[in-house]
């Protein structure tokens, strides 16, 4: 890309520093009880169904958040980024229905389920950002949140395939039922560059601390949510 923000290298270095700092959060999710018990097959199936239902509610709320992010775009690059994220989230929802079906969660059960507050902290925080934050702050929150989600998603997919009968081909598609975990746990460098380019527009020496705080809160909330998947799900055994 030749039209990157003049501040891009500064922003790239800033993001890399924060990505190193959040590695304990990544490891906390990856090595937490929710993941480790799914990997050894001892977590209750009803708890897994609870996670699947809660993730549905999260994706639906995230789509609403993203629609608001689009309205905050200040130029075509920001508009393209948030529109891309909205389309990706819709694809994530479509893939999630494959997981719902594989878990035998009926439409009636899904309709009667409710988002648990303890599992909604991160998406509700992003709802606040949709109202109060600048595009660069939102892009930073998205970018830093991603590796925490991805670490959990990859390990969760492995455990579901190994111990719970997931990972099968689905009818009328070329995907397996864990597609939502497998396909959406990878971030391309192109996606990272787009996000950092937006971050660069709002980053300077005066805003470094406040922007880092915004991004770190997104990571902390995501980490807490994965802990609460275990706390709430274990009650269902």
What is the spatial distance between Cα 218 and Cα 30, in angstroms, rounded to a whole number? 17
- Alpha-carbon Rg for the chain in angstroms: 18
Q: What domains are there in the chain, each with its CATH number?
A: 8-231 (1.20.910.10)
What is the spatial distance between Cα 215 and Cα 112, in angstroms, rounded to a whole number? 33
What is the spatial distance between Cα 219 and Cα 56, in angstroms, rounded to a whole number? 20
Q: What is the pLDDT of residues 191-204, one digit of tens each?
A: 999 999 999 999 99
Q: What is the pLDDT of residues 105-152, one digit of tens each?
A: 999 999 999 999 999 999 999 999 999 999 999 999 999 999 999 999
Q: What is the pLDDT of residues 43-75, one digit of tens each?
A: 999 999 999 999 999 999 999 999 999 999 999
CB atoms within 10 A of CB 104: 9
In 3-state terms, what secondary structure has residue 176?
Answer: strand
Read off the pTM: 0.95
- CB 162 within 8 Å of CB 48: no
């Amino acid at each position: 890309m030749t039209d990157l923000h003049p501040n891009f290298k500064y922003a790239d270095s800033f993001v890399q520093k924060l990505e190193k700092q959040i590695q304990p959060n990544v490891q906390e999710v990856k090595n937490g009880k929710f993941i480790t018990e799914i990997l050894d097959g001892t977590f209750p199936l009803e708890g897994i169904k609870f996670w699947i239902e809660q993730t549905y509610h999260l994706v639906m709320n995230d789509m609403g958040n993203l629609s608001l992010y689009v309205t905050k775009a200040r130029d075509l690059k920001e508009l393209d980024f948030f529109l891309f994220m909205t389309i990706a989230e819709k694809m994530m929802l479509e893939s999630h229905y494959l997981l719902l079906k594989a878990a035998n969660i009926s439409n009636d059960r899904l309709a009667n389920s409710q988002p648990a507050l303890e599992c909604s902290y991160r998406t509700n925080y992003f709802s606040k950002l949709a109202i109060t934050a600048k595009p660069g702050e939102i892009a930073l929150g998205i970018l830093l949140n991603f590796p925490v989600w991805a670490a959990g998603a990859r390990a969760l997919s492995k455990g579901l395939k190994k111990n719970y009968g997931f990972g099968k081909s689905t009818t009328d598609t070329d995907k397996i039922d864990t597609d939502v975990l497998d396909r959406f746990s990878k971030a391309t460098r192109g996606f990272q560059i787009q996000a950092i380019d937006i971050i660069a527009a709002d980053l300077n020496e005066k805003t470094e601390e406040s922007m880092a705080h915004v991004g770190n809160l997104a990571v902390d909330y995501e980490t807490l949510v994965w802990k609460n998947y275990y706390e709430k799900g274990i009650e269902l055994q």
